[in-house]
Amino acid sequence: MTVTALLFASYADALGREQLSLDLPAGATVRDALERLRELPGGTSLPPAPLVAINLAYARPDAMLSPGDELAVIPPVAGG
């Protein structure tokens, strides 16, 4: 299946991109997707357990992904 990964702020700087497609086996979790991102150039600078969101809502690392999901990897937030 294919999911869209989004990167922001310092994470986007580290990996040099803001968006990419990931091909993952059926049943893959957030954790699996993060492992794949860590293999990319600059990917080792992602922390062990970053905040993530699936389809605009925060999700846990063991959440299962579905085809077409939007998975966002979220640096420490600093709004306000």
Applying CB under 8 A, which residues contact other proteins? 6, 8-10, 13, 53, 56-58, 72, 74-80
Dihedral, CA of residue 49, residue 20, residue 76 and residue 43, to nearest 10? 50
Contact 50, 74 (CB under 8 A): yes
Residue placing its CB nearer to other proteins in the complex, 26 or 57: 57
At 32, which amino acid appears? D
- Shortest separation between residue 26's beta carbon and other proteins, angstroms: 25
DSSP assigned state of 24: -
User: In angstroms, what is the minimal distance from the CB of 4 to other proteins?
Assistant: 12
Least distance from C-beta 70 to other proteins, angstroms? 9
Q: How far apart are CA 44 and CA 56, in angstroms?
A: 25
Nearer to other proteins, 26 or 78 (CB): 78
Residue type at position 69: D
Of the pair 9, 27, the CB lying nearest other proteins is at 9
